[in-house]
Structure 1
Amino acid sequence: MTELCFRFATLADVPRLRALVESAYRGASAKRGWTHEADLLDGDRTSDDELASLIADPDKRVLLAEDAIGALAGSVNATNLGNGRAYMGMLCVDPELQSDGLGRALIAAIEAVAVREFAASVMEMTVVDARPELIAYYERRGYVRTPEVRPFPLPIAVPFAMAVLERAIG
């Protein structure tokens, strides 16, 4: 893995953050990596408004990973759920850089942020249950699948749901 700098996103980052998220989750570019949803879903993964809201919310942190020249390599966010719990979401790595340890580094960095900024001791996340290889990836990082399953968060008919995983942090 090349040397990276981690920092919190600002509103000025929204356009390039959105480009990264879309390239990592949807369309032909996403298929260059292995963590995409391109075979399951079409359309946009996020919007400028959603990303701006994430960045502006005091109970959320959006972490960016940039290389030495400032190119965006990955991102992840955390939400303070209260009572010592945080939620990790929208982990994405540039498809050209996947399988190089950046996802692991982003997870560790956002867990540290959740501990430091939200006093979290448990991190939870959701993963599309139609992606057992992705669930296995998080299990290798110490996450445990809970019995809880949540509905898919968009109002569209899909044959899958969201598996809930969690792990103790801090």
Structure 2
Amino acid sequence: MNAIGAADIMIRKAQEQDIPALHKLVESAYRGDSAKRGWTHEADLLGGQRTDVAALREIIGHTDQVILLAMDGADIAGCVQLVRVDEAIAYLGLLTVDPDRQAAGLGKILINEAERFAAGNWQARAMEMTVIRQRGELIAYYQRRGYVLTEERRPFPLDDPRYGLPKTQELEFAALRKNIGA
């Protein structure tokens, strides 16, 4: 696949009317057979859902959270969630790229836009994220983008089906961090 140029993609905030298409994109990229077309899926570790419509609606309606969409014409090609943790730190989550568009540079564009948004709109000086520890290839991807793997581990919500149905009880999150602002 050819690299996606920034000129081909428009980044904008998600709105209420985007939720059905956004939900479909997230589920297709993280779970089930469609996710396995891309390299960033969790389908081997988790079944069930990745998120639900109510959770997406809550994020979009929250003053300290935003979902940025990567629009390719009328299609949502990817997204990223940002959470203002405090006056200095933002959290990056739900980075999603359509499985058929992965490995073309869109993830990098979304990360860059997320960092720019957090630094410019929230004056964040650092970005944090968590990744399932067992996803070494994805952790390495973030490290190539300047994120540092910390020693911090956080529990995975193993008993909450809103986050998926674990195929192993060994899941846990690894925390990564990157300085993004002055």
**Residue number among 153, 170, 174 corresponding to 1:159 in the alignment:** 170
Query: Pairwise mapping of residues 59-70 of structure 1 onto structure 2 (< 5 A)?
Result: 59-67=64-72, 69-70=73-74
Extract unaligned runs of 5+ from structure 1: none
Paired positions, count = 169
**Once the two structures are superposed, what CA deviation does each residue of 1:63-93 show, in whole Å capped at 9, x if it has no partner?**
00011x2111000010001130000000000
Partner of 1:109: 113
Q: Give RMSD over aligned pairs.
A: 1.0
Q: Name 2:99's counterpart in structure 1.
A: 95
1:54 alignment partner AA: I
- For residue 82 of structure 1, give the secondary structure of its aligned residue in structure 2: coil
Gaps of 5+ in 2: 161-165
| 1:53 CA displacement | 0.3
Distance 2:158 2:66 in 1: 22
Residue 35 of structure 2: which of 30, 39, 42 is its match? 30
- Residue 4 of structure 1 corresponds to which residue in structure 2? 9
2:84 counterpart of 1:80: yes
2:152 matches 1:148: yes
| 2:85 alignment partner, SS class | strand
Which stretches of structure 1, 4 residues or more, deviate above 3 A after TM superposition?
A: none
Offset at 1:154? 4.5
1:116 Cα offset (Å): 1.4
Separation in structure 1 between the aligned mates of residue 91 and residue 77 of structure 2, nearest angstrom: 21
With normalisation by structure 2, the TM-score equals 0.90
* Partner Cα distance (1:135, 1:88) in 2: 13
CA separation in 2, counterparts of 1:115 and 1:154?
Answer: 33
Q: What is the alpha-carbon distance in structure 2 between the residues aligned to residue 112 and residue 83 of structure 1?
A: 15
- Aligned to 2:104, the other structure's residue is in SS state coil
Residue by residue, what CA displacement relative to the aligned partner does 1:139-166 show, whole Å, maximum 9, x if unpaired? 0000000110000034256212000000
Q: Distance in 1 between matches of 2:16 and 2:121?
A: 20
1:100-149 deviation line (CA, Å, top 9, x unaligned)? 00000000001111111211000000000011111000000000001100
Relative contact order: is structure 1 or structure 2 higher (C-alpha 8 Å, sep ≥ 6)?
Answer: 2
How far apart in 2 are the matches of 1:70 and 1:5?
10
The equivalent residue for 1:16 is 21
* TM-score, length of structure 1 as denominator length: 0.97
Q: 1:122 aligns with which of 119, 126, 133?
A: 126
